[in-house]
Amino acid sequence: MNILWLSRFLFANVLTGDMVFVTRFLFFLLLGINIRLFLSTKRAFHILSAGMVIGWLVCEIFADIGASSIDIDFGIFFFGLVFHGGQFFLQSGIGFFTCHAVCLLLHRRKLME
């Protein structure tokens, strides 16, 4: 009985050297960086960052529910969408907030009121 579901954790796949996961991770990371660089207002930044966090939480909740009880007809397809959606929100959010922190440290691309 695998209590922790280590195969389902997002970052556990990086340690196995799965190139599809690493490529997807780098793509979503760069996507988050590009999104942050194109924002210019604080309002857009706050709306987008809240949307990323809420989207990730919703996807993780549905992925946990789906992992415990998968319906054979529709559940596997829905679980795959939610699982990859959670990866998208988490990994692009990491790139988004990392880029924001670097921009704040360098005092470049400050957001306008």
CB 84 within 8 A of CB 25: no
Backbone dihedral region for residue 77 (phi beyond 0: left; psi -120 to 50: alpha; all else: beta): alpha
What pLDDT is stored for residue 54 in this prediction? Answer: 93
Mean pLDDT across 68-82: 67
Place of tokens 């990086």: 14
Round the average pLDDT of the chain to a whole number and report it. 76
Higher pLDDT, 97 or 20: 97
Per-residue pLDDT at 47: 92
b/e per residue 59-70 (b: at least 16 CB within 10 A): bbebbeebeeee
Is pLDDT at 74 greater than 70 in this prediction?
A: no
Residue 112: per-residue pLDDT: 64
Highest mean pLDDT among 27-36, 66-75, 100-109: 27-36
**61-78: average pLDDT:** 68
What pLDDT, on a 0 to 100 scale, did the predictor assign at position 62?
Answer: 81
> C-alpha angle with apex 53: 93 to 33, nearest 5 degrees?
15
State percent of the chain over pLDDT 70: 69
